[in-house]
Structure 1
Amino acid sequence: MVALATLVILACVILEQLWLDEAGTFERILAAASPTTRQSAIQETWITQRLDHFNPADTRIWEQRYFQNLEHLREGGPLFVFVGGEEPTSTAWLQDGQMMALARTYGAAAFLLEHRFYGANRPTEDVSTESLAYLTTEQALADLALFVAALRGRHGGGGAAPRVVLFGRSYAASLAAWARLKYPHLVAGAVASSAPLLAKADFREFLEGVAVVLGDESPDCVAHIRAATAEMKRLLTADGGPQELTQLFSLCRPLNASRSHDVAKLFGSMAALVATAVTDNAALADGRDSVASACNLLVNASFGATPLRRYAGVMGRQLRLSSSRCLLVDEDAVVARYRNTSWGSRQVASGDRQWLYQTCTQFGFYQTSESVLQPFGVGMFPLEHSLHLCSAVFGERFTKDLLEEGIARTNLLYGAVTPEVSNVVFLYGSMDPWSYLGAQGSRSQDTYTIDIEGAAHAADMSAASAADSPDLAQARLAVEDIVGDWLARDAEEPWLQPADMVVDVEFDNDTDTS
């Protein structure tokens, strides 16, 4: 799964026998980096939550998974919570990374809460459209609030309740900031890395940002992509052209050029793979391209005689790296997979169906080809293509109007790019196209926005390394100082209420760790 991190998938890229997820990627990075925390120090446990926090008459409950690492906890220390997002969680975030470095510095207990409907969390019998009505940011934030309240009561020891700082990346970064906005009496502060705060249906600026980063690496890189997509468009109507595209891009089924959604999926899938090189900027050893390696492939004639063949080589290399057979662009087949509502299905296990529902109802975030400033084929995967997937998968009522209402509500509830919130630090890398939806200011003097030159998506959340740029290293130090300031505030602050005033929530599989 290539997620919002992850990305909102431009065209729901589906590679046969592949599902790339960020959790697995981060674990591979940790394996090479020798994490500073033992896996044995991490415990898995569960907390009982209500299915619907906003209907007192609905008493249905479910068990939410979380992980804890108390290895660095000192007496009276704070509680750090890594907020889970639109994918199964990885305990790697409790082994190393920015939060764990700060946990060691400040003697904090560390927790990771997995998002409802993702990973092992199964609040309902299936993932039908009716069940997904309980998958909203409001419900997820209420889960988080009840979890934090329970932790504070559990670790308070009868005195002042411990201070809680939230950490998140991408969508989960938005949740962390919004939790501070909605529940300031529970949350002392939030570190929000690459948080997309503005809900928007047609996110055409995303690929504009991708083009800027590629152009900074090599102007020829963008020119060659533009030439390749022009040739792809020509082949759609040429004799034998669809067959040639089928072979070049290793499609699972012959391309039917008369089916607009199949064509959109092909063009969008290629854009998504290149965009991932920009947002992740990873090493090939991690199974992904960096900006430099992708552009080298696209402009170097030794990888193919024409821009089109080199562009197709991006897909070929991804197939090889992932041990996959082909790219699926047949819209009917893709829709059929997303319609499967069983927990064991591939699109559900990866979280793809659930995240699609959230984008169709609350966020949009669709990275369209509507801008002339991007090289991936103007108009080849328009907003209508993404909206079609919403209605095809979830039903006819999931229209553009329904999405626009949801987007307006999301921006109204949380303040869009200028939230009235204190004690949040927003961080964005200059190479991250998601920053176009990021924080642009706040009415509070206690909210910070840090722009990191040369950094990719949520780069600051990973562990510090010798390869960090001076800007990234400085950003880490700034976050350390800001979090330290939050923790040192006067005990009269509202989030330091006595522990006996905190809500009591039941933990399952509980052990005494106080």
Structure 2
Amino acid sequence: MNKAMGFLRHSFHQLLLFSLISFSCVSGTQFSIPRLGALRRTTRTEPKITSTSVSKDFKTFFYSQTLDHFNYRPESYTTFPQRYVVNSKYWSGANSSAPILVFFGAEEALDNDLSGIGFLTDNAPRFKALLVYIEHRFYGKSIPFGSREAALRNASIRGYFTSAQAIADYAAILLHIKKAFSSKNSPVIVIGGSYGGMLAAWFRLKYPHVALGALASSAPILYFDDLAPQVGYYAIVTKDFKETSEGCYETIRESWDEIDKVASKSNGLSILSMKFKTCKKLKRTFDLKDYLDSIYSEAAQYDHPPTYPLSIVCGGIDGAPKGTDILGRIFAGVVAYMGNKSCYDMNEYNHPTDETYMGWRWQTCSEMVMPIGHGNNDSMFPPAPFNLNKFIRKCKSLFGVQPQPHWVTTYYGGHDLKLILHRFASNIIFSNGLRDPYSSGGVLENISGSHCLDILPEKKSDPQWLVKQRKTEVQIIEGWLAKYYTDLLEFRDRT
């Protein structure tokens, strides 16, 4: 299917009106919340990013970060090394008050972002900007207490692992950098994708004296406190598959009952284990279903050109030899997407030793509670509504703490967000691709495309609407900077 077809498009006027906040005055129940990262896990369809693929222009530093920014107990002044990376290749210097473009790390190590996030490096020459990338606390090399095990060992220590602490970290590092580079008057534009996009938007709201503006790509800041429909995420996954291939959609929709039918046999789990070449014999159908759910949602969420993972999955399903049964076609989709392996690990997406899995599980069990579930209607998934009570019990059994599902909207806002942003915020771009499942929780959806696509590196294969979208975002930021420099000159003249 032609990927350009079926896309919802808006004019530039509509894009500016609806996506830009820049005003002149100012399983049974789902337990795992799909991760938000701007970059998807490396699979067979995309090359791995290595240290040799990162430019030598990136210089790594460590800032002695305060453990707790919000109280005065003696232990709050404990420090830990927080990683940030600077690229000054294109910066025209403090004397010209050249801008600083800052990427906010999210729920993974910073390494892949250096070459995987292209918006900063692609536009650094145009803005003559200093580039800064900051790693999120408790991820990568920015671990308090010396090791990940020590940092996550109990609820008292994990209590320092919050979004509010993270954006306070970013503020401290940016003020440090501006002092180190003698760049007092250099305006700061913060950029993030997905969870990092939420952090960028929230940073602009909480620290407007530090950041002139924010680009929040694919930031589902409305997916809290039932502000967005619980079934929105999987409704879009279903729509994406249906638009790609009706046959693929139907096969997936019918496969769940077929899995249950086979499992009901006396040796059913053994049959399923052999059909799907699982590395360990299945003990329950949930593990297989959860694995397939993760493949489908990941393929839809990160359906980037030129590979288009969703088409790879459906190509495998639809391209299975004639006469292949339903589960055989599903397995063909798995092989197409994951590669031809000797066996398939049903815990591929849920490894407790993986730092993103561990960290994100804690974050979603404490404050980042996004009620995402499967609906009915024409969903290709079996019904599985989000059950907050079960979610709370599960989190309490894992971490010994009570989730706070209302905290995000209390601390950052959410209800009547458009009105709140109009009155109290300016210079925030919210960009969402309508094929991205998380756009169901985004602010005023506007563009076609997948998760965080606009901040990924530019490619010759990029569709024209994406080129146009990026150009618009750059022009908006240029407008912010022009107004800032005018105000700066007027202020200097008065003093």
Normalised to the residue count of structure 1, the TM-score between the two structures is: 0.77
1:270 is paired with a residue whose SS is helix
Superposed counterparts of 1:317-332, under 5 Å: 317-320=336-339, 325-328=344-347
Structure 2 residue aligned with 1:42: 58
Q: Equivalent residue for 1:135?
A: 161
Describe the SS at the equivalent of 1:56: coil
Contact 1:153 1:161 (8 Å CA) reproduced: no
Matches of 1:271 and 1:191 in 2, distance apart?
Answer: 30
CA deviation string 1:190-221 (max 9, x = no partner): 11110010243784221111001111112222
Report matched runs for 1:237-252 at 5 Å. 237-252=264-279
Give the partner amino acid of 1:47: Y
Return the alpha-carbon distance in structure 2 between the equivalents of residues 384 and 369 of structure 1. Answer: 16
Structure 1 residue 104 displacement after superposition: 1.3
Among 380, 391, 396, the alignment partner of 1:391 is 396
Match 1:198 to one of 222, 225, 228: 222
The SS at the match of 1:265 is helix
For the residue of structure 1 that corresponds to 2:159, the secondary structure is: helix
Q: Equivalent of 1:452, from 447, 455, 458?
A: 447
Are 1:264 and 1:380, in contact at CA under 8 Å, matched by a contact in 2? no
Q: How far apart, CA to CA, are the structure 2 residues paired with 1:305 and 1:492?
A: 67
Name the counterpart of 2:84: 66
Per-residue deviation, residues 22-56 of structure 1 (Å, max 9, x unmatched): 47579965979x98xx6111111111111000012
Q: 1:162 Cα shift?
A: 0.9
Cα distance change on mapping 1:11 and 1:327 into 2, 3 Å: farther
Give 1:465 shift: 1.9
Match of 1:165, SS state, is strand
**139-148 or 300-309: bigger deviation:** 300-309
User: Comparing 243-252 with 455-464, which one deviates more in the overlay?
Assistant: 243-252
Kindly provide the amino acid, as one letter, of the partner of residue 433 in structure 1. P
- Counterpart amino acid of residue 123 in structure 1: P
Shift of 1:366: 5.2
Whichever residue aligns with residue 182 of structure 1, its letter is K
Instruction: Name the residue aligned to 2:257.
Output: 230
- In structure 1, C-alpha distance between the alignment counterparts of 2:190 and 2:395, rounded to whole Å: 32
The residue identity in structure 1 corresponding to 2:270 is: Q
Identity between Structure 1 and Structure 2 (%): 24
User: What is the DSSP-based 3-state SS (H/G/I as helix, E as strand, rest coil) of the residue aligned with 1:275?
Assistant: helix
**Alpha-carbon distance in 1 for matches of 2:397, 2:116:** 41
Mapped contact 2:80–2:144 kept (Cα < 8 A)? yes
Separation in 1, partners of 2:44, 2:205 = 29
Distance 2:341 2:91 in 1: 39
Corresponding position of 1:291:
310
Between the two proteins, the alignment pairs up a number of residues equal to 440
**d(CA) in 1 for partners of 2:427, 2:205:** 9
Matches of 1:42 and 1:193, distance apart in 2: 23
Aligned equivalents of 1:473 and 1:467: distance in 2? 10
2:13 corresponds to which residue? none
Paired with 2:41 and 2:257, the residues of 1 have a C-alpha distance of 36
CA contact (8 A) 2:233 2:372 kept: yes
Aligned twin of 1:481: 475
Is the aligned partner of 1:308 residue 2:330? no
Alignment deviations for residues 131-173 of structure 1 (CA, whole Å, 9 cap, x no partner): 211111110010011112122222335xx52100011111000
Residues 267 and 381 of structure 1 are in contact (CA less than 8 Å); yes or no, is this contact kept in structure 2? no
Residue in 1 aligned with 2:187?
163
Question: Shift of the alpha carbon at 1:112?
Answer: 0.5
For 2:115 and 2:44, the matched residues in 1 are separated by 12
Alpha-carbon spacing, 1:24–1:226, altered in 2? closer, same or farther (3 Å)? closer
1:462 is matched with 456
User: Deviation of residue 65 (structure 1)?
Assistant: 0.4
Amino acid at match of 1:481: Q
Contact 1:211 1:375 in 2 (8 A): yes
Of the three residues 412, 432, 439, the one matched with 2:436 is 432
Deviations 1:105-138 (A, max 9, x none): 0100101100000011111333123221111111
Judge conservation of contact 2:305–2:462 (CA < 8 Å) in 1: no
Partner of 2:19: none
User: Greater shift after overlay, 461-470 or 48-57?
Assistant: 461-470
Structure 2 counterparts to residues 325-344 of structure 1, below 5 A: 325-328=344-347, 338=352
Q: Which runs of 5+ in 2 are unaligned?
A: 1-29
Residue 185 (structure 1) aligned to one of 184, 206, 209: 209
2:116 and 2:375 mapped to 1: Cα distance? Answer: 41
**Change in 2 beyond 3 A, CA 1:303/1:200:** farther
Aligned to 1:277: 299
Cα 1:117/1:66, change in 2 over 3 Å: same
CA pair 98-206 structure 1, distance change in 2 beyond 3 A: same
Note closer, same or farther for the CA distance 1:469–1:270 as it changes in structure 2 (3 Å cut).
same
Q: Deviations over 1:432-483 (max 9, x none)?
A: 010011113xxxxxxxx6x222x11111111222222221111111011011
Matched, 1:126 2:148: no
For residues 481 and 226 of structure 1, the distance between their equivalents in structure 2, rounded to whole angstroms, comes to 43
Q: Which amino acid is the alignment partner of residue 293 of structure 1?
A: I
The equivalent of 1:217 in structure 2 is: 244
Greater mean alpha carbon deviation, residues 207-216 or residues 296-305: 296-305
Q: Counterpart amino acid of 1:86?
A: E
2:291–2:347 CA contact under 8 A, matched in 1: no
Q: Which amino acid aligns with 1:239?
A: S
1:232 to partner: Cα distance: 0.9
Q: CA deviation at 1:273?
A: 0.2
Distance 1:176 1:381, change over 3 A: closer
Unaligned runs of 5+ in 1: 1-9, 14-19, 258-262, 339-345, 441-448, 499-514
Displacement of 1:371:
3.6
* Equivalent residue letter for 2:219: A
